[in-house]
Amino acid sequence: MLREWHQADRGRGHIITWNGKPIKSFQTTWERCLFDAKIARRLRPYDFRHHFVTEALEAGADIGALAGVVGSRPDTLRRHYQHVTERLRDQAVESVPAVTIPKPASIVRKKGKNPRKNGRIKRRHPFTR
C-alpha cells in the first residue's frame, strides 16, 4: 500500500508526515506518541486495526468489503475473527422468537383412552411422544 501511495505521489517526498515534518521511523514516532499521551500500557498499531475490524464486524459490516478496507482476505478475517462471528451467530439465533408447533386436534390423545383398544391405532404427530 505504501508503494502505491509513493507512486501516486510520484516521489514528492515522504508519504507520512506529522506537523509538516517527515516521519522517518514509524516505531520511534509511535513510541513518542504513546509517551506524550501518557499511555503506559503496551499498545501497538495492530491493536487499532484489530479493534476496528472487531467493531466493524459487530456492527454488521460485510466481511468481503471489510477485508478490502484493511488489506486482507475474507477467509483470513473469518479465521482470525471467528470469535466475533460466532458470537454474532449466537446472537442472531437467540433473537429469533420461540416457535411452538400446535398439535392437530385429530391426533391429541384424550386422558384415559387407549389408542390401541379395539385394534385401532391412531396416527401420531411426529413431534409428539
Q: Which secondary structure element, helix H or strand E, spans residue 58, and what is its range?
A: helix 45-58
Q: Which amino acid is at 129?
A: R
Q: Domains in the chain: how many in total?
A: 2
Same-domain pairing of 25 and 48: no
What pLDDT, on a 0 to 100 scale, did the predictor assign at position 35? 93
Same-domain pairing of 75 and 32: no
Residue 65 is assigned to a structural domain of this protein:
yes
pLDDT greater than 90 at residue 108: no
pLDDT tens-digit readout, 30-87:
898 899 999 999 999 888 888 999 889 888 889 999 999 999 999 999 888 887 777 7
Bridge partners, residue 21, by sequence: 18
Same-domain pairing of 5 and 15: yes
Same-domain pairing of 90 and 52: yes
Any idea which residue has 516505531 for its cell? 27
Q: Does pTM top 0.75 for this prediction?
A: no
Cell of 120: 385401532
Same-domain pairing of 49 and 59: yes
Same-domain pairing of 68 and 82: yes
pLDDT tens-digit readout, 15-43:
677 787 888 788 888 898 899 999 999 99
Same-domain pairing of 39 and 74: no
The answer to whether 60 and 53 are in contact (CB under 8 A) is no
Q: Which of 17, 41, 21 is nearest to 31 (CA)?
A: 41
